[in-house]
Amino acid sequence: MGLVKMKELLNQASENNRAVGAFSVGNLEMVKGAVKAAEDMNASIILQIAEVRLPHSPLSLMGPMMVEAARHSKVDIAVHLDHGKTIQVLKQALDYGFTSVMIDCSHLSFEENMAETLEAVNLARVYGATVEAELGLVGGSEDGSTDGGIRCTNPEDARIFCERTGVDALAVAIGNAHGNYPVAPRLAFDVLEAIDQKIDVPLVLHGGTGITPEDFRKAIGLGIRKINIATASFDSLTKEAEKYLESEGKHDYFGLNEAMVRGVYENVKQHIRIFQCVEPLT
């Protein structure tokens, strides 16, 4: 138990037809809440942070904390850099002990995406780390600052991409988007099924916040092995903090700390129940 490679968790998920929850964190409270939920549920998870979040949550502070939390956990946890944009930041994460990195060049041309991804794969192999890439265009961005629209992943392109780059996981675009959905998304399950039939690489679903439990499990049945949750955790933390500060009585940092941990804890537990596919949906 402790820090593991993400590839190990994805392989286990494939064997059991489940998905691993990849939970974005931005501070101590989020790390504590996510790890406590995983331990209480006896479930493996992925702790991750996106490169775009680093101005608020510096990698030099978050990286060692995330890695140490995983090392001392009672369950298997992988530590992942989400939506890495530059090789430089990928290397920094790997030097801190991250067991997985994502290179996101989905905004580039197909050939340019493959070239950048191959460079990331070659770097990560030196560290024995897992590599995730993205093909197609998932809506929005991790911080909500940009939105280039949604472009579904082409199944045949996915096959060629995975064969030529050797990536360990592929994030696909099937109508999903980052952030809060204004209306419930309509996922293109036919596209997902076609991708799953063409490649053996574990598939990743970004933009998990707001997708229904039923759609999560349908996606898992069609090859999704990693599901990213970010906005829901940030929102849950904020709501619990607001609730605490609006309550009667004396307020201090320690009570606020516990409220933020609790907010993330409950959100992570809720999603683990869905992704593990061991409990009926109610």
- How many angstroms separate the CA atoms of 26 and 199, rounded? 33
Is residue 142's pLDDT more than 80?
no
pLDDT tens, position by position, 97-112: 999 999 999 889 999 9
pLDDT tens, position by position, 143-197: 444 444 567 899 999 999 999 999 999 999 998 776 655 555 678 899 999 999 9
- How many angstroms separate the CA atoms of 258 and 131, rounded? 34
pLDDT at 147: 46
pLDDT tens, position by position, 59-85: 999 999 999 999 999 999 999 999 999
Cα of 92 vs its chain's centroid, Å: 19
Please check whether residue 96 lies inside any domain of the structure.
Answer: yes
Phi-psi region of 163 (alpha: psi -120 to 50; beta: other; left: phi over 0): alpha
pLDDT at 146: 46
Cβ pair 59, 89 in contact under 8 A: yes
Please check whether residue 238 lies inside any domain of the structure.
Answer: yes
Phi-psi region of 144 (alpha: psi -120 to 50; beta: other; left: phi over 0): left
In Å, how far are 13, 172, 276, 282 from 25, measured between CA atoms?
22, 22, 21, 28
Cβ pair 183, 150 in contact under 8 A: no
Domain span at 249: 6-276
Is 83 part of any known ligand binding site? yes
Is 229 part of any known ligand binding site? yes
Catalytic site residues?
A: 82
Q: How many CA atoms lie within 13 A of 273 on its CB side?
A: 14
* Percent of the chain scoring above 70 in pLDDT: 92
- Tally of residues, the chain: 282
**Tally of domains in the chain:** 1
Cut 0.85: pTM above it? yes
Please check whether residue 167 lies inside any domain of the structure.
Answer: yes
Please check whether residue 35 lies inside any domain of the structure.
Answer: yes
Cβ pair 65, 31 in contact under 8 A: yes
User: In the structure, what pLDDT confidence band is assigned to residue 140 with cuts at 50, 70 and 90?
Assistant: very low
pLDDT tens, position by position, 206-245: 987 778 999 999 999 999 999 999 999 999 999 999 999 9
Cβ pair 46, 226 in contact under 8 A: yes
Please check whether residue 31 lies inside any domain of the structure.
Answer: yes
pLDDT at 145: 44
CB atoms within 10 A of CB 73: 21
The first and second tokens of residue 115, run together, are 């070239």
User: For all residues of the chain together, what is the average pLDDT?
Assistant: 92
According to DSSP, the residues that pair with 171 across neighbouring strands are 134, 204
Is 209 part of any known ligand binding site? yes
pLDDT tens, position by position, 24-68: 999 999 999 999 999 999 999 999 999 999 999 999 999 999 999
According to DSSP, the residues that pair with 151 across neighbouring strands are 137
Is 230 part of any known ligand binding site? yes
pLDDT at 137: 72
Is 207 part of any known ligand binding site? yes
CATH assignment of the domain containing 26: 3.20.20.70
Please check whether residue 281 lies inside any domain of the structure.
Answer: no
Q: Which segments within the chain are labelled E, that is strand?
A: 20-24, 45-50, 77-84, 100-103, 130-135, 169-172, 203-205, 224-229
The first and second tokens of residue 102, run together, are 């994502």
Please check whether residue 1 lies inside any domain of the structure.
Answer: no
Please check whether residue 282 lies inside any domain of the structure.
Answer: no
User: Cβ neighbours of residue 120 under 8 Å, at least 6 residues apart?
Assistant: 84, 87, 90, 101, 103, 131, 133
